[in-house]
Each structure stands twice: as structure tokens, then as C-alpha cells.
Chains A and B, each alone.
Chain A
Amino acid sequence: AQSVTQLGSHVSVSEGALVLLRCNYSSSVPPYLFWYVQYPNQGLQLLLKYTTGATLVKGINGFEAEFKKSETSFHLTKPSAHMSDAAEYFCAAGGSNYKLTFGKGTLLTVNP
């Protein structure tokens, strides 16, 4: 069964600092991988996704993620945090049965 682990339920960074949110997946077959962002009292919005091809994926709002098969990881990064990046971030993996498995989420706080 697919599982997704997000390391750190809460990450705090200063404005302008590097953002690194960690995600590892468990699968014998490389899955499809996603990062979603959820702002307070809103639904989820897709940041980026990896399906096939280039392992470095660029998304919206300056975020990017790199698929590393050898490490079964799909960490999310942004070079310089902005106050507007404060939100909860979810990593998800999809298998061949069209079901998405989500991680438990990481709350990102950006300090001025």
C-alpha cells in the first residue's frame, strides 16, 4: 500500500529564508507525486506535480520539487520565503488505481 510521510508537522522560517518541506513516499513503483497548498479556511490548490520526465518540477509561486527515486523523496523548496507563503502544505502520491494518498501535512510559518 502507498504511504506518504511528511517530516515535520510545523516548519518556521524567516522571511527571505530558504523553505524546505520534506516528503518521502513508500512504493515499489514510482508513483505520481503532488504538492498541494491549503490557505486558512480554503480548499487545496495544486502547487506542482511529477508524473514522468524531468525530475525537477517547477510549480506556482516560485516553488519547485525534485523527484529522487533512490531516496524515494519529493521535497518541496523555495529559495526565498514570503509572508504570503504561510499555509499548510500537503504531499500526495497517486498509484495506478487513481487514488491519492496524502501526507499529514506541514504547517509553514513565515516570520517577519
Chain B
Amino acid sequence: NAGVTQTPKFQVLKTGQSMTLQCAQDMNHEYMSWYRQDPGMGLRLIHYSVGAGITDQGEVPNGYNVSRSTTEDFPLRLLSAAPSQTSVYFCASSYSAGFEETQYFGPGTRLLVL
């Protein structure tokens, strides 16, 4: 198993540009989520999904869109990038939404918005 994979590893955007951060897992996990990590802030939940076709907002959803058309993929879209979205983004997945299950994190995408 490749586990949780994220692409790209690093991206530079200009303010107002759009892009999609890709996340995929090959473990047949139902639950997937996106976090952003900022210095001194820990990780904050952006969006999550409990299964294909089902998504919901986390703590900091503004400026981000998600969809879940397949079990494997959970892309995060920035429609109009802002400097405040400069961060490291982590995708995570687990077998189910229950906390008895371990969440596995991807290696992260480092995003710089100029």
C-alpha cells in the first residue's frame, strides 16, 4: 500500500489564482480530512468526509471547497488563493469516522501564496 499520498509537495501561487491539492489513499478508508498547519497554531480541520458523496465543514472552511466522488480521492480546491492561505496542508484518512480507528496522515503540501 502507498498509504496516503499528496500532490504536489510544494506549490507557489499568485494571489487570485486557483489550484487543487490532490489527496489519495489506497486503504479503502471511508473517512478523509484536510488540515492546515501554521506555526504556533497546531493543525486545524478544514473539511472532512465520512464517505463518497458526503462532505462537511471543519473549523476553518472559508476559501476552500471539497468534493468526494470516489472513496480513494479527496481533492481540496482553492478558488481564489490569498496570502492567508500560505500554509502546510495535510490530508488524513481512517477506516471509519470513529476514533477507535487510527488516522493516517499524508506527507503534506507546502503552499506559498504571493
On A, residues with C-beta under 8 Å from B are 4, 9, 32, 36, 42-46, 49, 51, 90, 92, 94, 98-105
Contact = CB atoms under 8 A, between A and B. Distances in A.
B32 to A, nearest CB: 11
Nearest 9 A/B pairs, CB to CB: A32-B99, A43-B105, A102-B42, A98-B97, A94-B99, A102-B43, A44-B105, A104-B42, A43-B107
A21 B44 CA distance: 21
Contact of A44 (B44, B90, B98, B100): B90
A49 B42 contact: no
A89 to B, nearest CB: 11
Interface string B24-68: 000000010101000011111100101000000011000000000
A65 B59 CA distance: 27
A60 B108 CA distance: 22
Contacts of B42: 4, 90, 102-105
B90 A99 contact: no
Interface residues of B, number: 26
Contacts, number: 53
Nearest to B98: A98
B105 A99 contact: no
A43 B45 contact: no
Contacts of A100: 33, 43, 45, 103
A105 B40 CA distance: 7
A99 B58 contact: yes
A104 B59 contact: no
A111 to B, nearest CB: 23
Contacts of A43: 4, 90, 105-108
A99 B42 CA distance: 14
Contacts of A101: 45, 59
A44 B59 CA distance: 19
Interface in B88-114: 90, 92, 97-100, 102-103, 105-108
Contact of A102 (B31, B44, B98, B99): B44
Given A42-B107, A43-B105, A99-B59, A51 B99 contact: yes
A105 B43 CA distance: 9
